[in-house]
Amino acid sequence: MDPAAVVAGFPGVEEFAGVPDAWHWSPVPGLDFAAALSADGRHLFQVSARDTYDEELVRAILVTARENSSRLLAEDVLLGTQPGFRFPGRDFEVVAAARPGVHRYHEVQQPELQKVTWAVFPGYSCEFAAPDHYSLEDARESFIRFLSPADLDREPVPFLRLWFDNTVTKGGTDNPDGILALPKTLYREIKLLERAPGSFVRFENFLGQGFRVEWDAEHAWTLGEESKGGAARPVELADLLAFVEKTLCG
């Protein structure tokens, strides 16, 4: 199929100024789409923006995606990134790409176009784990629930995989692979460890580093760093939460 021909036929579509083989369209006020062909001309990189469209930023995203087509289109990558992205006035660090099946932009109305469309958006390094850390379900959940790719003004949402079990609240995770969670969930479960012996919270950050927090009746909270091995060390709650924040955000 010819993605250029399909996109060029969208209602209200116009050429994207300054980028060859690229287009912009806005079906309703506040909702903007822009797309550009990949370097091989057979795939489409698409940006979506809801109430946050910035033409210069979108231009930089599309150009970066095209220049790094081979990396972002790699067959074994569900949710990949191109590091080194910079844009004046923004703190973004990467251009991210979600393959078909992770995003569902054209799944209903243009199923053939869906197969060759990669969703691209700006992001932060701490939001993305190594490619082999994602199942398809993980990648979909990250894309839809946490990353908010259509919000081009968003703040970082660090990648976080979480396991926990609390003997007092009876809350916990059943999946041996843990769950993807927001940092506020991790902070809450750490605080709930207080006076809950036999409970634990374990988490992994975007670098794959693992940490385990428990409540010790004698020393209060304890922190173990899996990469360092050895016994867990006692730590004050304020210091623990500060350490967790630094770990998640790099």
pLDDT tens, 217-246? 777 899 999 877 778 899 999 999 999 999
Q: Is the pLDDT of residue 178 over 90?
A: yes
CA atoms within 13 A on the CB side of 44: 29
- Angle at which helices 237-249 and 183-191 pack, to 10 degrees? 160
Q: Hey, what amino acid is at 102?
A: V
Tell me the pLDDT band of 1, cut-offs 50, 70 and 90: confident
Q: Hey, what amino acid is at 247?
A: T
pLDDT of residue 219: 72
CA distances from 186 to 78, 113, 122 (A): 25, 39, 25
Calpha distance 18→16 (Å, rounded) = 6
pLDDT of residue 231: 81
Q: Is the pLDDT of residue 132 over 90?
A: no
β-bridge pairing 44-50 and 117-123: parallel
Strand order of the β-sheet with 79-83 is: 14-15, 22-28, 31-37, 44-50, 117-123, 94-98, 79-83
Average pLDDT value over all residues in the chain: 95
Residues linked to residue 95 through DSSP beta bridges, in sequence order: 82, 122
Exposed e or buried b for every residue in 78-90, given b needs 16+ CB within 10 A?
bbbbbeebebeee
Instruction: Tell me if 143 sits within 8 A of 98, measured CB to CB.
Output: yes
Which of 55, 99, 57 is CA-nearest to residue 76?
Answer: 99
pLDDT of residue 218: 75
pLDDT of residue 136: 95
pLDDT of residue 103: 97
Average pLDDT over residues 140-163: 97
Average pLDDT over residues 100-128: 97
Whole-model pTM? 0.93
Tell me the pLDDT band of 84, cut-offs 50, 70 and 90: very high
Name which residue leads in pLDDT, 232 or 200: 200
Instruction: Tell me if 83 sits within 8 A of 64, measured CB to CB.
Output: no
Tell me the pLDDT band of 88, cut-offs 50, 70 and 90: very high
List, for residues 29-53, the tens digit of each pLDDT value.
999 999 999 999 999 999 999 999 9
List, for residues 3-26, the tens digit of each pLDDT value.
999 999 999 999 999 999 999 999
Calpha distance 210→72 (Å, rounded) = 27
pLDDT of residue 230: 72
For 192, counting Cβ atoms within 10 Å of its Cβ (0-12 exposed, 13-18 middle, 19+ buried), the class is middle
